Structure 1
Amino acid sequence: MGLQAKNPYDDGELIGDVESGDPLDDDFDDDVEPIELRDVHHVAIAVADLDEALADYRDAFGVTVDHRETIAEEDVEVALLSVGGSRLQLMAPADDDSWLVEFLDGQASGLNHVGFSVDDCAAAMAALESRGYEMVDDEPKPGPNGTLTAYVHPPDQPGTLLQLVQG
């Protein structure tokens, strides 16, 4: 049985029918092997003040920090929190020159990216580039807790970055 999408603003008008397991568009290139995502590694929220955000999450939800570090190359400070079987990453500018300062631009916090676990970050980057995805990074960079990471701009999806996470 296929998945059906209905327009929520119309009384049940059928706007598409996609069979489970089928590619989502007709331009899918069968000659290019898709990358295999192991799981959602984390969801990252950018915050202006990491200590304040951690206190808020601790007080409201009782979560604790699994790992915290400053990633000098990215000029950010990150904290990973376990929430059930998932991970939440809070990230804050390490100083006023951090790229996150511009991302936050006066807001207290915001969804920054979704990280996906992959076996080989460089190979996943190459596969996505061959499909037309724009990479933010030229090569994998050191990430939190000994991982290798790379950011991806998905086509037609402005606003939310994807991150490949190896390790």
Structure 2
Amino acid sequence: EVAEQKVRVAMLQVGESKIELLEPTSPDSPIAKFLEKNGPGIHHIAYEVDDIEAAIAKLTEDGMRMIDSVPRNGAHGTRIAFVHPKSSNGVLTELCQCGH
């Protein structure tokens, strides 16, 4: 569970990829609002990066609009940041650095 995002998380390993299932824990969570507006389906795509600060800096330098200019805590000890969908053809994109 990621309390600050008001979401419960389950992770499924599929080969070298992972599928993350999200369940809102409050009606005012970002995921609950997404589900109310769009119904069930894909919320975002995530890419694992080795150095999230460097990835944010490079994307910003390349003109990408970031939702998070500073990484925040994600599920399972990760650090995450989101690219704004307007910079990625309408797809919410997450950068994810695994905890070490």
Partner of 2:23: 92
C-alpha contact (below 8 Å) 2:27/2:33 kept by paired residues: no
C-alpha contact (below 8 Å) 2:68/2:81 kept by paired residues: yes
C-alpha contact (below 8 Å) 2:7/2:31 kept by paired residues: yes
CA distance in 2, matches of 1:86, 1:118: 14
CA distance in 2, matches of 1:129, 1:87: 26
Query: Which structure 1 residue ranges, 4+ long, deviate > 4 Å from structure 2?
Result: none
The answer to whether residue 88 in structure 2 is matched with residue 139 in structure 1 is no
Partner of 2:97: 166
Alignment TM-score, normalising by the size of structure 2: 0.86
Partner of 2:53: 122
For the aligned residue pairs, the C-alpha RMSD in angstroms reads 1.6
The answer to whether residue 89 in structure 2 is matched with residue 157 in structure 1 is yes
Please identify which structure carries the higher helix content.
2
Closer/same/farther in 2, CA of residues 127 and 110 from structure 1, 3 Å limit: same
Closer/same/farther in 2, CA of residues 156 and 89 from structure 1, 3 Å limit: closer
Alignment-mate amino acid for residue 89 of structure 2: Q
Alignment TM-score, normalising by the size of structure 1: 0.54
CA distance in 1, matches of 2:73, 2:88: 27
Alignment-mate amino acid for residue 74 of structure 1: Q
Secondary structure of 1:136's match?
A: coil
CA distance in 1, matches of 2:18, 2:33: 25
Secondary structure of 1:73's match?
A: helix
Partner of 2:34: 103
Partner of 1:55: none
Secondary structure of 2:4's match?
A: coil
CA distance in 2, matches of 1:113, 1:156: 11
Q: Give the number of equivalent residue pairs.
A: 97
| Long gaps (5+) in structure 2 | none
